[in-house]
Every structure is written in structure tokens, then in C-alpha cells.
């Protein structure tokens, strides 16, 4: 079989499997948005650690390049296509919202491709002045942004402004798309940044679950 099958790619494959499962469940209308977001969270946690796990093994150039490519391809599905499907289910289900969802995935694709080009340039041209930072908001941030957008839904529903929520969701999704391809420099997280991201993820997940339990009627 072509490809590489060692422990360095397990988390990437698990994250992808989680996203594909979530997309299929959404299409089959099984489990609802909450389950899909839970699977998105799992994919996000896998992505946090897949690079660190990969660096524990000495790999040749082919294995390293393979890892970079599958990571980006997986990210496009996990944090581009999958979140777009969730957002579609959350409130952008009308046909006129489709361009916004397409833009979200497209900008994510462009951002990932640009990141790969930078990584290759830095590897083969060490003298190139490319700092240790991201250009544009990482597409993986969608696993935190989407749950936050879902958490605020009851506050729109309570006052009978579900239409306003759809507009809010459309604006937020468009802004995320723009941030993906914006020239803003974002520092790569160190160990403390990783711990903070995990803590933030847990807080958001717990908040979402409690909100869903106590405000369940407002999520329909």
C-alpha cells in the first residue's frame, strides 16, 4: 500500500474519521448539532497534538512531507468542510447562504495551501526570512469559534429574533473567512499556549453543554 502507516499519523487519521462521521450524521439528521460539535472538538484535540507526536519520531524527508500534506488535507475537511456543514445546520440552511459557506471553505483551502508553501520555502531555503508565526487566522480555530456561535443562539431565540441569529451567523462566518486569508501575523503557541487552548476548549465545551441542558427549548 502507498502512504505511511506509523504512530505519527494516528491522530491525524482519527481527527479525519471524527469529521467524516460528523458530516454523515448531520446528513442523516442523527444526533443533532451537539453531537457534531462534540466530534469537531475531538478533531480539534487530535490536531493540537498530532504535530508534537510526529516530532517524537525521526522521519526522512518523504515521511515529513507526507505528514505535512495529510495534515493540511485533513484540516480542510475537519475545520473547513465539517464546520461549514455544522453552521449550515445551525441556521444558514437557506440557498442564499450557500455562497457564504462556500467562501468559508474556499478561504480555508487558500490559507492551508499558503501555509504549506511557506513551510516548504522555509525548509528548502533556510535563508528566507520567514518567522516562526502563522499568516492569517489558523483554520483550526473553527473548532473553538463554532461552539461559541452555537452557545449564543438561545439569547437570540429568547427574544424571538431567530432571523437575526441567521444574520449574525452569516456575518460571523464571513468574518472568519476573511481572517483566514488576512495578512495578520499570529504567533505559534508554545507549551503554555497549548495548555491555555486546552483549558479554553474545556471551558467552552462545558459552557455549551450546560447551556444546552438548561436552555434546551431555545435551541430548537
Q: Binning pLDDT at 50, 70 and 90, where does residue 128 land?
A: low
| Residue closest to 145 by CA, chosen among 35, 27, 37, 26 | 37
Whether the pLDDT of residue 160 is over 80: the answer is: no
Q: Binning pLDDT at 50, 70 and 90, where does residue 82 land?
A: very high
3-state secondary structure at position 186:
strand
What does the pLDDT read at residue 78? 96
What does the pLDDT read at residue 89? 94
Question: H or E segment at 84?
Answer: helix 82-90
Tell me what the mean pLDDT of segment 203-216 comes to: 80
What does the pLDDT read at residue 130? 59
Classify residue 164: in a domain, yes or no: yes
- Residues 6 or more apart whose Cβ sits within 8 Å of residue 141: 79, 176
Q: How far is CA 135 from the centre of its chain?
A: 16
Classify residue 2: in a domain, yes or no: no
Classify residue 161: in a domain, yes or no: yes
Classify residue 140: in a domain, yes or no: yes
Instruction: Return the higher-pLDDT residue of 98 and 184.
Output: 98
Q: d(Cα 5, Cα 8) in Å, to the nearest integer? A: 8
- Indicate yes or no: pTM above 0.85: yes
Q: What is the pLDDT of residues 163-191, one digit of tens each?
A: 889 999 999 999 999 999 998 877 777 77
The CATH number of residue 95's host domain is: 1.20.120
Tell me what the mean pLDDT of segment 64-68 comes to: 81
The parent domain of residue 139 ranges over 7-219
Classify residue 1: in a domain, yes or no: no
Residues in the chain: 220
Tell me what the mean pLDDT of segment 28-34 comes to: 87
Q: Binning pLDDT at 50, 70 and 90, where does residue 127 land?
A: low
What does the pLDDT read at residue 177? 96
Whether the pLDDT of residue 156 is over 70: the answer is: yes
Q: d(Cα 215, Cα 77) in Å, to the nearest integer? A: 30
Counting the structural domains of the chain, the total is 1
What does the pLDDT read at residue 193? 77
What does the pLDDT read at residue 172? 96
Q: Binning pLDDT at 50, 70 and 90, where does residue 74 land?
A: very high
Amino acid at each position: 500500500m502507498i502512504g505511511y502507516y506509523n504512530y505519527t499519523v494516528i491522530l491525524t487519521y482519527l481527527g479525519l474519521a471524527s469529521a467524516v462521521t460528523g458530516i454523515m450524521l448531520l446528513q442523516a439528521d442523527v444526533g443533532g448539532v451537539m453531537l457534531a460539535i462534540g466530534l469537531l472538538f475531538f478533531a480539534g484535540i487530535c490536531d493540537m497534538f498530532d504535530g508534537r507526536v510526529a516530532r517524537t519520531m525521526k522521519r526522512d524527508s518523504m515521511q515529513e512531507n507526507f505528514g505535512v500534506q495529510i495534515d493540511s488535507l485533513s484540516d480542510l475537511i475537519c475545520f473547513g468542510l465539517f464546520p461549514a456543514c455544522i453552521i449550515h445546520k445551525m441556521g444558514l440552511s437557506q440557498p442564499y447562504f450557500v455562497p457564504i459557506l462556500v467562501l468559508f471553505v474556499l478561504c480555508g483551502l487558500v490559507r492551508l495551501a499558503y501555509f504549506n508553501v511557506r513551510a516548504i520555502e522555509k525548509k528548502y531555503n533556510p535563508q528566507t526570512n520567514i518567522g516562526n508565526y502563522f499568516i492569517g487566522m489558523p483554520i483550526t480555530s473553527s473548532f473553538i469559534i463554532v461552539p461559541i456561535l452555537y452557545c449564543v443562539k438561545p439569547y437570540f431565540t429568547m427574544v424571538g429574533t431567530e432571523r437575526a441569529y441567521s444574520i449574525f451567523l452569516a456575518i460571523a462566518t464571513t468574518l472568519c473567512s476573511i481572517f483566514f486569508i488576512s495578512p495578520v501575523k499570529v504567533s505559534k503557541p508554545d507549551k503554555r499556549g497549548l495548555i491555555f487552548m486546552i483549558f479554553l476548549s474545556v471551558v467552552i465545551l462545558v459552557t455549551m453543554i450546560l447551556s444546552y441542558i438548561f436552555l434546551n427549548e431555545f435551541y430548537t
